[in-house]
Amino acid sequence: MARKYFGTDGIRGRTNEWPMTAEIAMKVGQAAGAYFLRGKHRHRVLIGKDTRLSGYMMESALTAGFTSVGMDVVLVGPMPTPAVAMLTQSMRADLGVMISASHNPFADNGIKLFGPDGYKLSDEAEAKIEKAIEASPKLAAAEQIGRARRVDDAPGRYISIAKSTFPDHLRLDGLRVVIDCANGAAYKVAPDALWELGADLIQMGVTPNGININDKVGSTAPAALQAKVLETRADIGIALDGDADRLIVVDEKGQIVDGDQLMALIACSAARDQTLKGDGIVATIMSNLGLERFLWSQGISLHRTPVGDRYVVEAMRAGGYNIGGEQSGHLVLSDYATTGDGLIAALQVLAELVTRGEPASQMLKLFDPLPQLLKNVRFTGGQPLEDEKVKKVIAQAEKELEGKGRLVIRKSGTEPLIRVMAEGDDEAQVNEVVDRICDAVRKAA
């Protein structure tokens, strides 16, 4: 059954347009609150947000929805998505909510839900909440309406948890690190954690004003970080996205290091330390074939999932793996967190940098990726992937790449885009195949 509200990562859209309106947010609060009203204890929901201007509106609407069905609300303010997941569990909340559209522009916003165990909800749970959104809510009696309060120590709690994942015997003293927080949710906690561990810190993207989140800064716009690393002669650069569940690294030469290389590093380090579980890692269909071949050469398997860190986490839990992620920089280290955490992943990379004493450019180049090209085609309606001409072009491309590469075509779960990706040993063939499919999709759209 097609889902009306939830995409691959919660509910997301342009603010004040369906489904990202205050009215829908209140209904989500009522539906999700009612779903988690189990047992006779006093129920609570923990709500965090990033730095978008619309966060205030969505926070208030969600609070109204939750309290109206009898659930108490704990507001933690701007916090990374993984911090909300952690605090939901540690503060014994029945439900966690993150208000964020991650790497999207400020005009978008989103609602992500976490269960009491700190994990994102299953498709089944989201389907039940969707059904309840359009039903009449069962409102609490006047004396049973929930209460709302803010807590001030949430950042300190998260910083303490994040720092505990860094080896006790190591320090970052003498290491020059540029940190780019995308003017997003981690603008306070990430620099504080790195500074407390001893880093010589250069900060970027730490002056949010409500509309500059992800604006020419952060993991999806790393050019500014590359320039700053070179300008300051830093040892390494770290870029997070708007809700800090994503990480991209820049080495001392200004070269971008994506999630595939980072997963390779962390997996090999875990294998060396005999802490790798499941004898492999989990990645999505978008990860480069070069990563798979490299891991195989190291005796490490790669299990692939559909795109979305929730599917990575599901596969990790099912297979007993403790390392997973996406090429885009969502890195899930389940020994420490229940979802992607850019800061914790960065700390593991920095620990290796200190331990090995090598330049980042040398340490982070573990394999040569195969030529890969990803292009997006925006569409305004319809189902262009169901067009017979598009299907024919895709089938022909798959035949041409058989045995020499891969083709991944999918509809984005967060934006009105068709994503077309191909990779293979022949770069010219990869480029031609992607362009041909994109042309067909544009005509159909």
Domain 372-444 fold: TATA-Binding Protein (3.30.310)
Single-letter code of the amino acid located at 22? A
Q: How confident is the model at residue 333 (pLDDT cuts 50, 70, 90)?
A: very high
Cα–Cα distance measured from residue 187 to residue 153, given in angstroms and rounded to the nearest whole number: 16
> What does each C-alpha distance from 121 to 53, 255, 326, 338, 339 come to in angstroms?
26, 36, 19, 12, 12
Instruction: Give residue-wise pLDDT tens across range 40-71.
Output: 899 999 999 999 999 999 999 999 999 999 99
* Residue 159 scores a pLDDT above 60: yes
* Residue 403 scores a pLDDT above 90: no
Residue 134: φ, ψ to 5°: -95, 5
Q: How confident is the model at residue 345 (pLDDT cuts 50, 70, 90)?
A: very high
Cα–Cα distance measured from residue 93 to residue 151, given in angstroms and rounded to the nearest whole number: 13
Instruction: Give residue-wise pLDDT tens across range 177-204.
Output: 999 999 999 999 999 999 999 999 999 9
Mean pLDDT of 155-170: 97
- The 8-class DSSP code of residue 357 comes to -
User: Three-state DSSP class for 391?
Assistant: helix
363: left (phi over 0), alpha (psi -120 to 50) or beta: alpha
* Residue 2 scores a pLDDT above 70: no
Instruction: Give residue-wise pLDDT tens across range 201-230.
Output: 999 999 999 999 999 999 999 999 999 999
Domain with CATH 3.30.310.50 in the chain: 372-444
Instruction: Give residue-wise pLDDT tens across range 87-132.
Output: 999 999 999 999 999 999 999 999 999 999 999 998 899 999 999 9
- Copy the structure tokens of residue 409: 């075509």
User: Three-state DSSP class for 203?
Assistant: strand
Pairing state between β 10-14 and 6-7? antiparallel
* Catalytic positions: 102
**Cβ count within 10 A of residue 67:** 21
Q: Closest Cα partner for 59 from 41, 78, 35?
A: 78
Q: Exposed, middle or buried by CB within 10 Å (0-12, 13-18, 19+), for 230? A: middle
- Copy the structure tokens of residue 233: 């002669």
What pLDDT shows up at residue 380? 83
- Copy the structure tokens of residue 150: 């803010």
Domain 6-153 fold: Alpha-D-Glucose-1,6-Bisphosphate; Chain A, domain 3 (3.40.120)
- The per-residue pLDDT of the chain, averaged, comes to 95
Sign of torsion over alpha carbons 25, 30, 31, 36: positive
Q: How confident is the model at residue 308 (pLDDT cuts 50, 70, 90)?
A: confident
| Between 404 and 87, the higher pLDDT residue | 87
Asked: is 173-255 a CATH 3.40.120.10 domain? The reply is yes
- Copy the structure tokens of residue 15: 């603010």
* Residue 1 scores a pLDDT above 60: no
Distance, C-alpha 220 to centroid of its chain: 12
Q: Closest Cα partner for 119 from 334, 285, 278, 322?
A: 334
Q: Exposed, middle or buried by CB within 10 Å (0-12, 13-18, 19+), for 359? A: middle
Cα–Cα distance measured from residue 191 to residue 172, given in angstroms and rounded to the nearest whole number: 13
CATH of region 259-344+359-363:
3.40.120.10
What pLDDT shows up at residue 211? 98
Angle at 162 between CA 160 and CA 168, to 5 degrees: 80
Instruction: Give residue-wise pLDDT tens across range 7-39.
Output: 878 999 999 999 999 999 999 999 999 999 988
Whether residue 416 has a cis bond before it, omega within 30° of 0: no
Domain with CATH 3.40.120.10 in the chain: 6-153, 173-255, 259-344+359-363
Cα–Cα distance measured from residue 8 to residue 387, given in angstroms and rounded to the nearest whole number: 23
- Are the C-beta atoms of residues 87 and 154 closer than 8 Å to each other? yes
List Cβ neighbours of 358 (8 Å cut-off, separation of 6 or more): none
